[in-house]
Structures are given as structure tokens and as C-alpha cells.
Structure 1
Amino acid sequence: MSEQALSTTDHDRDSAGLRYVYPVISRRAGGVSVGINLNPNNACNWRCLYCQVPNLSLGSAPPVDLPLLEQELRGFLHELLHGDFMASRVPEGMRRINDIALSGNGEPTSAAEFAEVIALVGKLKTEFGLAEQKLVLITNGSLIHRDNVQQGLRRMAECNGAVWFKLDRANEAGMLAINDTRTTLTKVRENLSTAISLCPTWIQTCWFACDGNAPAAEEEDAYLDFLFGLLSDGIRPQGVLLYGLARPSLQPEAARLSALSLAHLERFAERIRSVGVGCQVSA
């Protein structure tokens, strides 16, 4: 395992020298997030302009080696709790396990073994006395209609789980431009509604400038209309996680993207709150 100290800007999936498990220092949470990467092939069914995955390809997660995942996660949790990893590689003030997060280099719910992975993580959370730590799924939400994904979300709800459901734009032209997906807003709404019904769900939104231009007022309005429509139908997310560009994109469009000021994000966050949805901002 590498001895290099970690920082909030280091999200290298290979930093622990393992296939599936990697540590991240979470600037938002102020602790160690134990990442699980089910897409070591760098394949995803979307291609977001701001994605930091190198050599990203269109596709799904390869078969998950469940015994290897269990071995890696059990060993890494033991090292965090009983070894010198925290003291040697984690800055003071952040030496705590904040959560276990399924994120990685592609869409984690594309793994055929997704439900089994959630059951495995839940078992190890119990084994290591980590019931209070969150189990977070970071997802584009496109596959939540699948039975095995819904089984996994039900299991997540039983072990202090939370879904972070990507919604960067709330219109089809915007989703095509930002996420390179031709999904419909109707499908997004259906999958988001399903996620909310199965497990506590946050909407995660990346807001940034493209070609020097912030999202147009029409983009903000469409987003707020989408939220208002959810609430009107009794569909209530936990809130919105609004964040900016923290690290450089590794996609061909990287030079076109730039971060917005914290003040700009906060202004949009206030509009979101005015609809009746809580919003946390991270620049």
C-alpha cells in the first residue's frame, strides 16, 4: 500500500493498491470516505463533461469478484481502525471514517452483482461496528428501474444508506450537452421517485460555466420547475447537494469548463431553498 499522504484533492482510485477499495479525504465531510470502485474498467453509460476518469469508455461494470471485494474491504477497514493508516496518511482533524461510498470510475449500479455488493458491505459495516457510518451510493440514477438495483437500495435503507442521485440539468437538451445522455426527463423523474421511495435520496448537482458562460437563467428556471413538480406530487428528496468544479476534467472538453464563484452557487442555492428544498453548497 502506498505511503503517500492523502489530501482532499487526491481521489486516485489506485492509492491503496487494491482493485476495488480506495480511500478519499472528503472535504465536505471532514473525514475518510472508504470508496468502492465497481468500474475498474473505466466504463460508464454516461460521459459527463466534468468527469475525472481517464480513458473513459462507454460500457458497464465488469463482473465483480465478490470474495476479492470482501477481502479488500475487510482488510482495509481493519487497517483504518487498528493499523497506522490514519496516523501516517490522513491529516489531523480528519482521522475518522465518515462513510463507505460506492462511486468509482463508472456507474456502480451497472454491476450485475450490485445487490450482493450492498449485502456484503452491510455485513462488514455490522462486523466492524460501523452502523452509524453512512453507506452512500453516488449514481446517475439511469438504472434504478432494474430489480437488482432496487433490491440493493432496499438493503441500503436498512444499513444507514443514502443515494446521491445526479441531476446536473433538468431538461433534455441540457442533459445531452452536459452528461452525453439521451435519457428523457420523464425517465429521470420516474427513477428519482423510485429511489426516494426505497432509500433516503439526495439530488447531486454539478453547476459550472461552459465556454465562459454560467448556466442561463432558463436552466435555473427549468431546474426549479422540476423540483416544484416533485414536491407538488409528494415526492420529496432529502435535499440538494450543489457543488462546483473542484478538480480538472479529464474529458476532451476540459478546457471549455470553469468553476463558478461560491457567491454564484449560493445565489442559486437560495433559489432552490425558496422552492422548499434544502440545499448544501460545496464550491
Structure 2
Amino acid sequence: MSEDRLSVTDHSRDSAGLRYVYPVVSRRAGGVSIGINLNPNNACNWRCIYCQVPELIRGTAPPVDLALLEKELDGFLHELQHGDFMRRVPPEARRINDIALSGNGEPTSAQEFAEVIELIARYKPAGLKLVLITNGSLMQRDSVQQGLRRMAQLDGEVWFKLDRASEAGMALVNDTRLTMDRVSQNLTTAISCCPNTWLQTCWFALDGAAPGAQDEDDYVDFLKGLLRGGIRPQGVLLYGLARPSMQPEAARLSALPAEWLEAFGARIRALGIEVRVSA
């Protein structure tokens, strides 16, 4: 394993020298997150313009070597708990916070997704949180729903991406053509399978301009529509840019002042929805 000191600004998938498992010092989690990367081919069905994955391609996760994943997860958990890996971590973050399915593409695109959740269930220490970070676009798959229901039994959390709440905004930021009706259906499915589902929203400036009043109104109106339909996410994880994009638009992106995020968060809280802001 590399001996470099880990930080919140470097989420390298190679820092542990493994194929599927990697450590992240998470500013939102406040500790070490054990990342599971099911997309080592850097393939995703979306192309978010703030994505930190280099050489990102359109596609799906390759077949998962479940035996190798099991070996890596078991070994890395042992190293974190009984080895000296934590000395590479800043002292204030020397705790294991969660196991997070994220990585270099959409994790639910793996055909073995439900099997991966079962594998994690066998090794996850009691009390350790399990998180799925997803764009939510593949919720119609039986294997995804099966995996999410198993996550619910494990007190797992789903972080469902919603960076903009209009079709034009999603096309611009996420390079996807999903309709908002489909997003609403996917989110409803996620919540029904795993009630502890949060929205995760990246708020940033593009070409020096912050998201406009229409972007905020679209987002708030989308949430109002959910609430009217009896659909309530656990809350919103609202965050800004912390690491540089590896996409062609990188030079056009910039972080917003923390007070801007807080002001938008206040509009969401006014709906009775919890908001956690990470500038």
C-alpha cells in the first residue's frame, strides 16, 4: 500500500493498491469511509461535469469478481481495525465511519449488485453504516431493488443524486436525458425499498454564475411535489466543490461561498426537510 498521507481532497481509488476497495477521508462523514468501486473501468451511464474520475467513459460496470471483492474487503477491514493504516489518516479522522458503494461509475449498473450487498452484509461490523451513492437511474432493475431492500435490513442509507430539478438542468450538469417524471418514479422506488434515502445535491458556479433563481425554484417545487404525493426523503445533503473536476468543463466550474449554500439550504428547510450543508 502507498504510504502517502490521505486527505479530504484526494479520493484516489488506488491508494490501497486494491481493485475494488479504497479508503476515503470523507469531509461529510467525518472519518474514514471504506469505498467499494464496482466500476474499475471508469464507466458510467452519466457524465456529470464536476466528476473527478479521469478518463471517464460511457458504459456499465464490468462483471464483478466476487471472490476478489470478498478477499479485499475482509483484508482491508482487518488492516483498518488491527493494522497501522490509520497512521496515514489525519488524527481527527481516525475512525471508520462507513462502507460506501460509490467509485468510478454508477454502482447499481453492476449486474451482481444484490450479491455485492449480501457479501458486504457478511463482513460489515455491527454498527458500521452502509451507504450507496447513486444517480438513481437504474431503480427499475429487480437486482437493484433487491439490494436496496437488503440495505434497509442493514440500516443502510441511499444517497440519491439530484443536482438540478429540471430536464434542462440535468442535461447540462449530468449529461443525461432523464425526464423529471422518471426521476420522481426512481426516487419513489428508492424510498420504498430503503426508506433511509437522502437526496445529494452538488451546488456550484458555472462560468462564474451561481445556479439561478429558476434552478432553486425548480428544486423546491420538485420537493413540494414529492411531499404532496406522500413521498418524503430523509433529507438533503447539499455540498459544494471540494476537488477538481476531471471533465472538459473543469475550468468553467468554481465553488460557491458557504453562505450561498446555507441560504439555499434554508429554503429547503422551510419545507420541513432536514438539510446538511458541506461547503
Q: Secondary structure at the match of 2:93?
A: coil
Once residues 57 and 159 of structure 2 are traced to their aligned partners in structure 1, the CA distance between those partners, rounded to angstroms, is 22
**What is aligned with 2:108?**
109
Does the CA contact (< 8 Å) of 1:46 and 1:181 recur in 2?
Answer: yes
Q: Any gaps of 5 or more consecutive residues in structure 2? A: none
Distance, in Å, in 2 between the alignment partners of 1:195 and 1:77 is 28
CA distances 1:134-154 after superposition (whole Å, capped 9, x unpaired): 100000000011000000000
Task: For 2:231 and 2:128, locate their aligned partners in 1 and report how far apart those are by CA, in whole Å.
Answer: 26
Question: What does residue 159 of structure 2 align with?
Answer: 164
**Partner Cα separation in structure 1 for residue 101 and residue 192 of structure 2:** 20
Matched-pair identity in %: 74
Q: Residue 49 of structure 1 aligns with which residue?
A: 49
1:175 alignment partner in structure 2: 170
Q: Is the 8 A contact 2:54 2:247 kept in 1?
A: yes
TM-score (norm 1): 0.97
Q: CA deviation at 1:92?
A: 1.1
Structure 1 distance, partners of 2:131, 2:111, is: 18
Task: Output the CA distance in 2 between the equivalents of 1:269 and 1:147.
Answer: 34
Which residue of 239, 251, 255 corresponds with 1:255? Answer: 251
Q: CA deviation at 1:211?
A: 0.7
Task: Structure 1 unaligned segments of length 5 or more: list them.
Answer: none
SS of equivalent residue, structure 1 residue 93: helix
Moved more, 261-270 or 92-101: 92-101
State how many pairs are aligned.
278
CA distance, structure 2, for counterparts of residue 100 and residue 39 of structure 1: 16
- Deviations, residues 51-101 of structure 1 (Å, cap 9, x unaligned): 000000000000000000000000000000111111x21121211110000
Q: Deviations over 1:224-266 (max 9, x none)?
A: 0000111111101000000001111000011111111000000
Asked if 1:279 corresponds to 2:278, the answer is: no
Superposed displacement of residue 276, structure 1: 1.6
Q: How does 1:124-203 map to 2 (within 5 A)?
A: 124-125=123-124, 130-199=125-194, 200-203=196-199
Q: CA deviation at 1:188?
A: 0.4
CA distance in 1, matches of 2:126, 2:187: 26
Give the corresponding residue for 1:267: 263
Secondary structure of the 1:119 match is helix
Matches of 1:204 and 1:110 in 2, distance apart?
A: 19
Structure 1 distance, partners of 2:92, 2:243, is: 22
Contact 2:10 2:243 in 1 (8 A): no
Alpha-carbon distance in structure 2 between the residues aligned to 1:51 and 1:231: 30
1:131–1:159 contact (8 Å) kept in structure 2: no
What pairs with 1:184-223 in structure 2 (closer than 5 Å)? 184-199=179-194, 200-223=196-219
Give the Cα separation in 2 of the matches to 1:177 and 1:9: 25
Amino acid at match of 2:139: I
Task: Show the 5 A alignment for 1:53-64.
Answer: 53-64=53-64
Instruction: Assess if the C-alpha contact under 8 Å between 1:131 and 1:160 holds in 2.
Output: no
Letter in 2 for 1:238: Q
Match of 2:10 in 1: 10
The one-letter code of the counterpart of 2:94 is R
CA contact (8 A) 1:132 1:160 kept: no
What is the alpha-carbon root mean square deviation over aligned residues?
0.7
What's the counterpart of residue 29 of structure 2?
Answer: 29
2:205/2:254 contact within 8 Å kept: yes
Amino acid of the residue matched to residue 79 of structure 2? E
State the alpha-carbon separation in 1 of the partners of residues 51 and 25 from structure 2: 18
Contact 1:133 1:160 survives alignment (8 Å): no
Q: Distance in 2 between matches of 1:235 and 1:186?
A: 14
Task: Classify the secondary structure of the residue corresponding to 2:104.
Answer: coil
What secondary structure does 1:260 align onto? coil
Partner Cα separation in structure 1 for residue 103 and residue 63 of structure 2: 15
Q: Distance in 1 between matches of 2:249 and 2:92?
A: 36
C-alpha deviation, 1:198, in angstroms: 1.1
